[in-house]
Amino acid sequence: MQDHDAAEGPPTASSVCLERLTARADFLRASRAGWKAMPGFVLQGRRRQPGETRADVIRVGFTCSKKVGNAVARNRAKRRLREIARLDLPRLGRPGWDYVLIGRRDSTDAMPFETLRRDLARAIEAVHR
């Protein structure tokens, strides 16, 4: 088995630590920062202050309001958002940042999965500008 060389490409999922946002205060801080609305979700992102938490960690939270639908629809939308974050945030996100993915009515659970992934890449790029 070969060692991963930094020149070969972006870090792998195992080299970047993802943590979940759970505290309401963290969600509120993210809501006052930059955001990008996409057809399937809204992405909020903010750079954490030095010393706030570990600087080498990407934190991510998920939310869907009752406007998204009943509990089954909200849970399905959040599962899809968690999966795109698991697959793409270690590669696209920046350590020291918090991201919140917000599900949208009639689209998060209905859009093709690959479209959601492409939208996440574009949204992260926009939030980082």
What CATH number does residue 29 fall under? Answer: 3.30.230.10
> Between 15 and 93, whose confidence is greater?
93
How many domains, in total, are found in the chain?
1
Please check whether residue 31 lies inside any domain of the structure. Answer: yes
Please check whether residue 7 lies inside any domain of the structure. Answer: no
pLDDT tens string 62-113: 999 999 999 999 999 999 999 999 999 999 999 999 999 999 998 999 999 9
Helix (H/G/I), strand (E/B), else coil: 18: strand
Collect all residues with Cβ–Cβ distance below 8 Å to 39 and sequence separation of at least 6.
104, 107, 111, 115, 119
Please check whether residue 52 lies inside any domain of the structure. Answer: yes
Collect all residues with Cβ–Cβ distance below 8 Å to 15 and sequence separation of at least 6.
4, 90
Least confident of 28-37, 47-56, 95-104: 47-56
Separation CA 102–CA 95 (nearest Å): 20
Please check whether residue 83 lies inside any domain of the structure. Answer: yes
Backbone angles phi, psi at 103, to 5 degrees: -70, 150
Please check whether residue 9 lies inside any domain of the structure. Answer: no
The predicted model gives 26-54 an average pLDDT of 93
Collect all residues with Cβ–Cβ distance below 8 Å to 88 and sequence separation of at least 6.
117, 120, 121
Residue 4 confidence (pLDDT): 42
Domain carrying residue 91: 16-128
The predicted model gives 50-64 an average pLDDT of 90
The answer for 52, left when phi > 0, alpha when psi is -120 to 50, beta otherwise, is alpha
Please check whether residue 78 lies inside any domain of the structure. Answer: yes
**What is the model's pTM?**
0.85
Please check whether residue 8 lies inside any domain of the structure. Answer: no
Please check whether residue 29 lies inside any domain of the structure. Answer: yes
Residue 2 confidence (pLDDT): 42
